[in-house]
Amino acid sequence: MNKKTVIIVDDEQAARRHLRDVISGFDELNIVAEAADGKSAIEQIMHWRPDIVFLDIEMPELNGFDVATATQSLTYQLVFMTAYEQYALKAFDTNAIDYLVKPARPVLIAKSIGKIIRQQTHNQPQRSSERLILNDHAQQKIIEFEHISYIESIGRYRRVHLSAQGASIHSTDTIISEQTLDGFCTQLPDSQFYRLHRSYIINATQLLELKYHARKHFVLLAGTDVQIPVSRSFIHTLKERITHQAKLKR
């Protein structure tokens, strides 16, 4: 088996050790070098020409973006690591496949590695497509699709309701966004998210029940007792999708 070569770049020894422990659990990967600063990182990347680089952003003198720019002529999968979420948009303007906020839990690092391995195997695009970047007051939050329960339109704003797991990770139940529902629809996969009403988008993986009451249809989602209305025009499509999902689970 040809192992994928990996370089870890972080100015904190504990962070490098944390990454090393998780990566060492993957037989497909081989850590060939580590670096504690930007200058050394550039030298190591140019020398080893690795398949994957885990790159810290905040480092003295040369930061992670400087390293990425200096080595952009090389082809490797880039995962940015940082304690600051405000770098998210700039990170995804590069060719980064992922962006992890430190201290990243081992399960999230492993998930990122799994995505890299799958994409390299199938030669898929090198850009993450399983998360949203939302502005929350002065902060930017990176929200995994699976952590969204439903999105509700309230006047000029949209309220993104998080699942229990998402709420635990982000320490909030909801995030207010100025993004339109149409805008969300262009970013979210229609196989997983349904625009079932002019004011609502739901995560179909959270769907528990379709109800009919007082001549109106509603859906119930996991973790909430809110009855979300379904437009008449979407009823037939929703029933077809529920039937299809049930068949796939058999």
Give the model confidence (pLDDT) of 61-114 as tens digits.
Answer: 899 999 998 998 888 999 998 877 666 556 656 667 888 888 888 888 888 888
Domain count across the chain: 2
| Whether residues 61 and 170 fall in one domain | no
| Tokens 């996969």 found at | 189
| Whether residues 8 and 103 fall in one domain | yes
pLDDT (0 to 100) of residue 153: 94
Give the pair of three-digit tokens for residue 154: 């309230």
| Whether residues 216 and 153 fall in one domain | yes
| Tokens 């100015």 found at | 11
pLDDT (0 to 100) of residue 90: 64
The answer to whether residue 138 is domain-embedded is no
pLDDT (0 to 100) of residue 91: 60
Query: Which range of residues forms the domain containing residue 229?
Result: 144-249
pTM: 0.54
4-9 sheet: strands from edge to edge: 29-35, 4-9, 52-56, 77-82, 96-101
| Whether residues 151 and 103 fall in one domain | no
User: Residues for the chain: how many in total?
Assistant: 250
The answer to whether residue 70 is domain-embedded is yes
The answer to whether residue 62 is domain-embedded is yes
Look up the CATH number of the domain holding residue 200.
2.40.50.1020
pLDDT (0 to 100) of residue 49: 94
Phi/psi zone of residue 101: left (φ > 0), alpha (ψ -120 to 50 degrees), beta? beta
Write out residues in the chain with pLDDT < 70, as ranges.
1, 85-95, 119-129, 136-139, 244-250
